[in-house]
A and B are shown apart, each in its own frame.
Chain A
Amino acid sequence: MTRKSRRLWLVGGCLIGLGTATALTLSAFSSNIVFFMAPSQVHAHPPSADRTIRLGGMVVAGSVRQQKHGDTPTNQFDVTDGQDAVTVHYEGILPDLFREGQSVVAIGSVQADGSFRASEVLAKHDETYMPKEVAEALRRSGKWDPRYGKPPDAASWNSMTKTATSQDKAAPQHGS
């Protein structure tokens, strides 16, 4: 085998490797990317039921309920970004750091009836850390500005969402 054809083998091998990697990546990107949505976005543009999304926001205080389907316990709670709330159903054990009135990210899909079925629920990691995407969604909705301190406490979130539709244009609350 000549030097040239050997080099050709080498280059061909590299191209096949990288080509496969690119093809696999692109095909996986088209089907496996998970978008983050806030509850108000879910209401405005409901994603199809086969699409997995990450839903993020604050857990509405007093909204957490447990039900039992056979032997399997189901948790139900509302997630809000201060403008809208989405009801989440989750079969399983809520994470240790899950709290009412604190931020949460739920991974799952929106059902035909508008509720959200979560396959995984992630709670924030410690007292000072809020998932970046949740903070961003809250900031965009004008309900919280990180420059003015901690997010509002559970009680105020509760009152904000109960009348969320009527208070949509309410002044942003700054400070805690």
Chain B
Amino acid sequence: MTPELGNFALALACCLAAGQAVLPMVGAQRRDPRLMALAPALAIGQLLALLYSFACLVHSAIQDDFSVQNVAANSSVAKPLLYKITGVWGNHEGSVLLWALILGLCGGAVALFGRDLPSALRARVIAVLGGVSAGFQLFCLTTSNPFDRVWPAPMDGQGMNPLLQDPGLAFHPPILYTGYVGFAVPFAFAVAALIEGRVDASWGRWVRPWAVAAWCFLTCGIALGSWWSYYVLGWGGYWFWDPVENASLIPWLTGTALVHSAIVVEKREALKIWTVLLAIGTFSFSLSGTFLVRSGILNSVHAFANDPARGIFILGLLGLVIGGSLLLFAIRAPSLTAGGVFAPVSREGLLVLNNILLCSICAVVLTGTMYPPFMSLLFGKTISVGKPFFDATAAPMAIPLMVFMGLGPMMPWKRAQLWPVLRRLWWSGALTMLAFALMAWRVRDLLPLLAATCAVWVIAGSIADIAERIRLFRIPVGASWQRARMLPRAALGAALAHAGVGVSVLGLAAMSQAQHRIVEVHVGQTEMLAGDAWTLTDVRAAPGPNYTALIATIEVRHDGRLVTVLHPAKRTFASQNQTTTEVAIHTNLMSDLYGVLGDRHENGGETTYVLRLHYNPLAPWMWLGGLIMALGGVLSLSDRRMRVGAPRRAATAGLVATS
């Protein structure tokens, strides 16, 4: 019964979403307050129906209801409870429902937190979100219904791919999807603004918090995904330039550009048309990312759905959303009043530069990702581009980006002089030079060296920004502290996010100096790597809940002192006839010791084991940096000026003009 209720709730949500798409829009056109007032009610109703529907699916999974096809195909009695719950979104149907649920949450959030928006704008924003929701829910209901029944019901499910049974992956999709879907809100704002034909400073102020929030989730999602592939796949790598990974990186790049260009709209009422286009583009890339993943047109290890009917539906939906919004943009954008043009040396000038560089990197990544499938589609040639391509293209453009990142926050608005800014940054420049000299001693490769130097520059630049704002060491420390407490959180958040980029890049640069060895050893043998002695002391078999494991014990000693004991393992899942590798990682935040147990060989009575040993300097910094970036975003979201309700108090004049 529960699955039928869930199915009904999903259908109900779809109907509510369709109503939400049409009625408030008509209301806003006719200036009918009753129809416009329907928008939040419908959005909340849709959200409740979706929550109920999702709860029904989770319930079926926990109860092991194998008459539900989706549960039978992806779960089994022996699966631990956590993975029964998280397994709900570990497959195509469930993940589409999760996607729809998060979109519903976005609509609900605009309904709840957007009370201070002008009613027509709010009605239109919610209506656009409703339209996208209705499309996705229809997709879920017609081509990938998670509540489909199977008859006769099997006694036990087929179980889940053991590779996916991991806490990191369990929570990765919801966070990543929130990032993807979150950009639906700036998209809806952009479309609403195009329909209204008006974009002004307050529009920038309203759209920015939503963009920042989505950006935080996307940043976290990408970092978590990269961390997952680092410790689960056991190749010692963290980013494979896989099409699916690129599909998340592309909206992140344009989203980062959007977060910055919205500032220019808010402060200077310039770059308005460009910002609208970025908002549309970012969500379009998010949608295409889903499309690429779901339809499997890009061959990738992540592709688990390969069904043409779904592909065509999604392609139609994509064409409607992206094509429709771009058409609207083409028709309405010329009627938007163009903003001011400004001096190249100024804060807004550097923000434009940031946008140009980010979008160029995005174009390069997009080309590298789309070129192989198009070549195979048009010319039947099977080619691929990998890490060398992206290293040769994206990295050289990221370096100027970071150079200007250090300058940007110190640059005054409107018209600036380069020299005073550089003078205030003298000590961070000196620090960067010192770091360069120290690193040039050790690091021979040019690109990692430059990247690490730029990372130091970015971190020093953001510290200098804050130090300058609180006039550190120029006024008494107590007074500086007072200023620090009064500092707008948005400024602190921006500095933190920039520092996070620096931390990540330092980690990436250091990882290029990582060392690894693949050795075949017998129990008791010692191997050296990066000054540490790794000794295999024991290998034993141990049973697990739905697998059997072979667990090795490796003692790592540095100058005779025991550093750590690692337990890498190999698990064999009998039900799927699969093995997974359990990596053992010891971290002290400055470096990771990473051990993998490989094959077991019997030759001439002696048993040997293949081990893969890695020494990864600064590896945790890559993800730590992502976390710091997201924290910076959250901090600036907590700024009162960023809150949607705040304009009433902060800038009454601007608001009166628009509402």
Contact = CB atoms under 8 A, between A and B. Distances in A.
B360 A17 contact: yes
B397 A93 contact: no
Interface in B288-344: 299, 301, 303-304, 306, 341-344
A44 B121 CA distance: 65
Given A10-B341, A21-B393, A35-B383, A91 B359 contact: no
A123 to B, nearest CB: 10
Interface stretch (A23-31, A78-86, A148-156, A159-167): A23-31
B389 A33 contact: yes
Interface stretch (A109-117, A125-133, A168-176): A125-133
B384 A36 contact: yes
B580 interface: yes
A29 B393 CA distance: 10
B352 interface: yes
Nearest to B390: A28
Interface string B179-222: 00000000000000000000000000000000000000000000
B33 interface: no
Interface residues on chain B, size class: 35 or more
B360 A73 contact: no
Given A32-B392, A33-B385, A93 B343 contact: no
Contact of B367 (A20, A25, A126): A25
Interface string B372-398: 000000000111111011001100110
Contacts of A122: 301
Interface residues on chain A, size class: 35 or more
A72 B357 contact: no
A94 B357 contact: no
B165 interface: no
Given A27-B392, A73-B518, A34 B343 contact: no
Interface in A90-129: 91-94, 96-97, 107, 122, 125-127, 129
A170 B495 CA distance: 68
A36 B381 CA distance: 8
Contact of B520 (A6, A14, A73, A133): A73
B599 A93 contact: yes
Contacts of B396: 20, 24
Contacts of A21: 360-361, 363-364, 393, 397
B598 interface: yes
Given A28-B393, A72-B519, A20 B360 contact: yes
Interface string B142-176: 00000000000000000001000000000000000
A63 interface: no
Most buried by B among A13, A25, A92, A94: A25
Contact of B579 (A28, A33, A66, A96): A96
A13 B367 contact: no
Given A10-B341, A17-B356, A24-B392, A36 B383 contact: yes
B386 A32 contact: yes
A71 interface: yes
A91 B389 CA distance: 24
Most buried by A among B349, B383, B579: B383
Contacts of A24: 364, 392-393, 396-397
Contact of A136 (B341, B382, B517, B519): B382
Contacts of A54: 382, 384
A65 to B, nearest CB: 11
B384 A7 contact: no
Contact of A18 (B363, B381, B392, B576): B363
Given A25-B367, A97-B578, A72 B518 contact: yes
A45 interface: no
A7 B397 contact: no
A81 to B, nearest CB: 13
A6 to B, nearest CB: 4
Contacts of A93: 518, 596, 598-599, 610, 612
The 4 closest A-B pairs by CB, nearest first: A93-B598, A36-B382, A17-B356, A21-B360
Given A24-B396, A33-B385, 5 more contacts: A28-B389, A31-B392, A73-B599, A125-B301, A136-B382
